Structure formats: structure tokens, C-alpha cells
Amino acid sequence: MELLLHIYLFIFGAILGSFYNVVGLRVPAGQSIVRPGSYCPNCRKKLKWRELVPIFSFFFQKGRCGGCRTTISPIYPFFEAVTGLLFTISPFLVGWSKELPVALALISLLVIITVSDITTMLIPNKILIVFLGIFIVLRIISPLDPWWSSILGAATGFGVLLLIAIISKGGMGGGDIKLFGVLGIVLGLQGVLLTLFFASLIGSVAGITAMLTKKVKKGQPVPFGPAIAAGSLLAYFFYHPLIEWYMSFF
């Protein structure tokens, strides 16, 4: 029975991942996420149901549009699969508890802002406002211990990133600042600080690697959203084991 639940979660996550791709691509462009229906951005061909099956349609079509044969971005199946996998493993990490909806909502936000940031270098306010309301409600239902850690986490996440932006004179985007404020509600004070540490580490390694491989030039802005997403997941799911591991050295 539990295996079936995990399978359902994967399917559900993959379907939502397909929708999150749409949200992450359309909202920054100021487009509706409802109309028009899914279409090829090159030839504008309206996609049929068999072209919209998460993950599988991409491979069945050999990564090309059925109309104009233009290459389809691998972003679509990648984030469908990632969302499905993260949904599937969440119960193993937080249990079938009141915390599970929090985990699924956090994954949803992180997938959307990652798609948005890597394609447009933007994290739209509309997305953050929607999830701000969702997280406030979810943290009332499943509060942190102590409950005020959410408030302190939000204030700290926003404040620290704002301070970094001021000191670096624009080195931190406004979307990143507001995103940390929203994440603070979910993660609390310690969690949001740990997220900042991981995001900075991951972002630095990724940036240096990209420059060494000449994929980006020195001084060229790179999206920080993916690093924030990775750091958030590490801090949220593995906070206690990581702290215990760290304290074992003392």
C-alpha cells in the first residue's frame, strides 16, 4: 500500500512539475498560465494530449516538436522528473505527517523559481506572494518549535540578504532577497542561515567551475536561484543530521 502511495506521489509530482515549468516560464514574461494551452514556442503548434505526458512525451518524440521538429529544451523533462522524485522521497524524510504538505509546497516553490531564474534571471514577486500565503497557513497548521522561529527566520533571511545587497552595491538580486524572507518562514532562523551557507558554497563552486570551463565570463551575472534551491533542500531535509555531524568534531 505504501509503495502505491509513493508511486502516486511520483506521478502527481511529475504532472505538477510540468505545470511548474509553465509557471516558471510564463509568469516572468507576464503571460497567463491558463491561456493559451501548451504550444510549441517556435511554430506555435498547439500540443496534443500525447505530447503532454510528463517525461515520456519528450523521449517518445525524440526531444523534438512534432510539427516543426525544433529541439525541445531538456528543462521540461528534467524538472518533471526532479519534482516527481523529490515528492516521492519526502515521506521518507518527514514522514506521513502534517509536515509533508510543507515539504511538498517548499519543493514546488523551489522548482518554479529555479526554472524562472535559469531562463530569465528573474524571481517574480507574484510567485513569492502566492507561496508566502501558503507557507503562513501551513506553518500555523504545522508550526516550528518554537513557533516564533518562523517570524525570526523570515526577518533574518530578508535582512541579511538586504545587507549583503547594500554592501555589495547590487551584488544580490531583489528576487533573491525576498525569496530568503519567504524561505525563513518555512526553515526558521537556524535553517535559513544554514541555507545561506550552503547556497553561497554551492553558488561559488558552480560559478568558479563555469568560469574555468569558459561557460561564463568573469563578471557575468549568473542565476543564484538554483543554488538557493539546493541549499534550502539540504537545510530543510538534513538540518539535524548535519548539525549532529558538525558537533561531533567538538
Question: Domain for residue 159, yes or no?
Answer: yes
Contact (Cβ atoms closer than 8 angstroms) between residue 202 and residue 231: yes
**So what's the pLDDT on residue 250?**
55
* Neighbour count for residue 126 (Cβ, 10 Å): 12
Can you tell me whether residue 84 is helix, strand or coil?
helix
Question: Domain for residue 151, yes or no?
Answer: yes
- Residues 153, 60 share a domain: no
**So what's the pLDDT on residue 139?**
97
Question: Domain for residue 202, yes or no?
Answer: yes
Contact (Cβ atoms closer than 8 angstroms) between residue 26 and residue 33: yes
- Residues 250, 128 share a domain: yes
- Residues 224, 177 share a domain: yes
CA distance 234 to 199: 10
- Cis peptide before 146, with omega less than 30 degrees from 0? yes
**So what's the pLDDT on residue 247?**
64
- Residues 87, 206 share a domain: no
When pLDDT is averaged across residues 36-50 and rounded to a whole number, the result is 77
CA distance 156 to 135: 17
**So what's the pLDDT on residue 83?**
98
Mean pLDDT (the chain, rounded)? 90
- Residues 156, 59 share a domain: no
**So what's the pLDDT on residue 242?**
80
- Residues 135, 17 share a domain: no
- Residues 4, 57 share a domain: yes
- Residues 92, 131 share a domain: no
CA distance 154 to 8: 33
Q: For residue range 13-32, what is the model confidence (pLDDT) as tens digits?
A: 999 999 999 999 999 989 98
- Residues 144, 89 share a domain: no
Question: Domain for residue 111, yes or no?
Answer: no
- Residues 175, 136 share a domain: yes
Question: Domain for residue 39, yes or no?
Answer: yes
- Residues 51, 130 share a domain: no
Given a cut of 90, whether residue 153 has pLDDT beyond it is: yes
Given a cut of 70, whether residue 168 has pLDDT beyond it is: yes
- Where a domain ends, among 96, 111, 136? 96
Q: For residue range 93-148, what is the model confidence (pLDDT) as tens digits?
A: 999 999 999 999 999 999 999 999 999 999 999 999 999 999 999 999 999 999 99
**So what's the pLDDT on residue 248?**
67
**How many domains in the chain?**
2
**So what's the pLDDT on residue 202?**
94
- Residues 132, 88 share a domain: no
User: Which residues share a beta bridge with 227?
Assistant: none
Domain housing 250: 124-250
